[in-house]
Structure 1
Amino acid sequence: MGHDADRSKDLDQRYRELAMSTFVFETRLAHRLSYFRVFASPRIAGLLKHTGQMQAEPGRRAHDTGLLMYSLIDAGLDSETGSYAISRLNEMHRRWRITNDDYTYVLGTFAVMSVRMIVRTGWRPITEAEKQLVIDWHAELGARLGITDVPGDFASFDAWFTAYEARMLRRSAAGQELLKLALEVVGSQIPPRLRRPTMALAPVLIDEPARSALGFAPPGLTARATVSVLLRFRAWRRRRNGPPPAFFTLGAPNGTYPAGWTIEDLGPRDLSGPRKRG
């Protein structure tokens, strides 16, 4: 095995441990909120609405996003599974004219927002080396997706991400339509009596300017205090009990795919069609 392959395998192993064990709750929370965050960019929301995929199968699209990301983390970027997942992602996106800035922003919703979430909610502080690990792994993913000029450290990526949001985020009709669909999917997974109070807490964890661009009102004192108490309790329990059991198994049956799934099952059912929209 060559030096580059050794480095990639080591990077995969270290990031897998961080994202699926050390900071598994924080990373999963960041990923879930990042799914909403892209709707705050009118250009991205407009393209997503134009494809029609979310309107057709909002639950499946949300689930597929998570399954693809965790397939990459679990298997590794250069594994057979990882390589196929990346080819699948490239196949999904190549027919659309998407700017490099928008690609970088979506990558940042996973990389930058994961670090921010760990800083804010982590059961222990994240180290500078761990911040760099998050950026390095996502930069490698970005390179395989053809994304260029990805900032090489957290401070730089965080500054780039902040500048993009200040320049690009605002409320839009497309974003509101897609957010409504996404919230309905999330709400359907919460017991009915807990649905309203749980959904009322979500804006506490979405910072500005995304919160306003998504149309959420500033959270009140009660909501902020409730989230703070819940997060402190969760952090105490994590310190006491250690990491939770593994939550992801490649191909395992779930609510969307009761008979199990493969990478080929994920994403649009028909990937044929012309490039369109820029």
Structure 2
Amino acid sequence: MQRFHWRDEIRGLDAEADCERIVRILGTLEFPWDLEQALGLALYRTYAVPSIGELLGGTREFTERTQHRYDDTALILNDIMEHGFGPGRGRDALRRMNQMHRSYDITNDDYRYVLSTFVVMPVRWLNDYGYGWRRLSDHEIAASTNYYRKLGKHMGIKDIPETYAEFRELMDSYEEEHFAFTEGGRAVSDATLGLMVDFYPAWQRPLVRPFTKALLDPPLIKAFDYPEPSAFWRRGGDLALRLRARVVRRMKPRQEPRWARMSPNIRSYPDGYEPDRIGTFPKGCPVPHDMLTRDVAATGAKVPAPGQSVAPAPRTAEDSGSVTPEDSASVTAEATSSATPEPTSAVSEASER
């Protein structure tokens, strides 16, 4: 297999009709590590919007159960990407996300902004910052845009931008208008950075935090009231990631997909999970939530035996499928209510690519 095998395959696909296939190739074969970092940084940015940061901080889920919220985000978005929007596991994950978000009073503008970060930040990471082993083509950017437009429609988001340029303008203008310090946003940011530090061996941890903060742009640093990173860390982080990109470019192409569910950093469900039974559960939610997690296992609470399936409660008509734009109560985006994402990590092996 040649280094540009997957790029060449994508060229033969349609940016709209085949957008799901293209995004799977990009996310699991061409740039799995890079897009994990870019999407983590995308969600991290949302903490700096006061209405989002305060909401996330107020739930206390993101400061006290950070690992669970990180895991739930990765797994739910993974299942949607891996299995698609049709009936099955992908739709179960989408339904679970929408169920969680119905419990929060979130504006459509905030949801549109969060969606825009998913569209824009991967392009900035790979192309504008130069951290990708190759650049995304216009064809690939259009396909990714179409995928997230499709996701947004299934979540009921209204007035979704149509092009990448429109998403970029939305994100930049929204951040310029809204970025500001809040106690809740800072608390969620600190908890997320703390989780990231714990992912690495003890000897690396003193490097992880300053390296990661050096990848935050000045508006984010100001919004979280962090000290400005030194020029040493700014230049060092940029150089390290550009060097990594050159190394990866000379490696053989990945032949097997690397799904987010394969990450060793996902630790909450040692015996597996079902997408409709993870995440946060508002009072009165009909969905069973007795998954065996590490926290539950430690308490000795009654849980299903490994491999035992617990049938979900019967679904109502409201829960029977994806959500329509008319269902304004379910307008949603993953960062704003269900989990804490991984920000850009500081130290990585090039082989993870």
TM-score (norm 2): 0.70
Q: Tell me whether 1:268 sits opposite 2:280 in the alignment.
A: yes
Q: What 5-or-longer segments of structure 2 have no aligned partner?
A: 1-13, 286-328, 330-353
User: 2:38 aligns to what?
Assistant: 30
Equivalent of 1:222, from 232, 248, 252? 232
Alignment partners' CA distance in 2, 1:271 and 1:207: 38
Alignment partners' CA distance in 2, 1:271 and 1:10: 39
Equivalent of 1:141, from 141, 146, 151? 151
Aligned 8 A contact 1:63 1:256 in 2: yes
Q: Tell me whether 1:80 sits opposite 2:99 in the alignment.
A: no
Alignment partners' CA distance in 2, 1:8 and 1:133: 6
Alignment partners' CA distance in 2, 1:251 and 1:269: 25
User: 1:50 aligns to what?
Assistant: 58
After superposition, give the CA deviation of every residue in 1:25-50 in whole Å (9 maximum; x if it has no partner): 22111122223222111110111123
Shift of residue 271, structure 1, vs aligned partner: 5.3
- Which structure is higher in RCO with an 8 Å CA cutoff and minimum separation 6? 2
TM-score (norm 1): 0.88
Equivalent of 2:167, from 157, 172, 187? 157
Q: Could you tell me which amino acid in structure 2 is paired with residue 217 of structure 1?
A: P
Alignment partners' CA distance in 1, 2:38 and 2:260: 20
Q: Tell me whether 1:248 sits opposite 2:259 in the alignment.
A: yes
User: 1:3 aligns to what?
Assistant: none
User: 1:166 aligns to what?
Assistant: 176
Shift of residue 232, structure 1, vs aligned partner: 2.4
Shift of residue 157, structure 1, vs aligned partner: 0.7
Q: What's the secondary structure of 1:233's corresponding residue?
A: helix
User: 1:206 aligns to what?
Assistant: 216
Q: Could you tell me which amino acid in structure 2 is paired with residue 154 of structure 1?
A: Y
Shift of residue 251, structure 1, vs aligned partner: 8.6
Alignment partners' CA distance in 1, 2:151 and 2:209: 32
Greater shift after overlay, 207-216 or 173-182? 207-216
Q: Describe the shift of the 1:233–1:194 C-alpha distance in structure 2 as closer, same or farther (beyond 3 A).
A: same
After superposition, give the CA deviation of every residue in 1:48-89 in whole Å (9 maximum; x if it has no partner): 123332234111001111111111111122251111111111
User: 2:270 aligns to what?
Assistant: 258
Alignment partners' CA distance in 2, 1:136 and 1:9: 9
Alignment partners' CA distance in 1, 2:263 and 2:213: 31
Aligned 8 A contact 2:218 2:228 in 1: no
Q: Tell me whether 1:12 sits opposite 2:20 in the alignment.
A: yes
Shift of residue 136, structure 1, vs aligned partner: 0.8
Q: What 5-or-longer segments of structure 1 have no aligned partner?
A: 1-5
After superposition, give the CA deviation of every residue in 1:152-178 in whole Å (9 maximum; x if it has no partner): 111111011100001111111111111
Q: Describe the shift of the 1:266–1:180 C-alpha distance in structure 2 as closer, same or farther (beyond 3 A).
A: same
| Equivalences for residues 51-70 of structure 1 within 5 A | 51-70=59-78
Aligned 8 A contact 2:197 2:205 in 1: yes
Aligned 8 A contact 1:11 1:137 in 2: yes
Alignment partners' CA distance in 2, 1:188 and 1:252: 14
Q: Could you tell me which amino acid in structure 2 is paired with residue 153 of structure 1?
A: T
Shift of residue 8, structure 1, vs aligned partner: 7.4
Shift of residue 9, structure 1, vs aligned partner: 6.6
RMSD: 2.3
User: 1:192 aligns to what?
Assistant: 202
User: 1:109 aligns to what?
Assistant: 117
Aligned 8 A contact 1:92 1:267 in 2: yes
The share of aligned pairs that are identical, in percent, is: 29
Q: Could you tell me which amino acid in structure 2 is paired with residue 143 of structure 1?
A: K
Shift of residue 236, structure 1, vs aligned partner: 1.7
Larger Rg: 2
Q: Could you tell me which amino acid in structure 2 is paired with residue 246 of structure 1?
A: P
Higher percent of residues as helix = 1
Alignment partners' CA distance in 1, 2:190 and 2:56: 14
Aligned 8 A contact 2:49 2:179 in 1: yes
Alignment partners' CA distance in 1, 2:85 and 2:197: 32
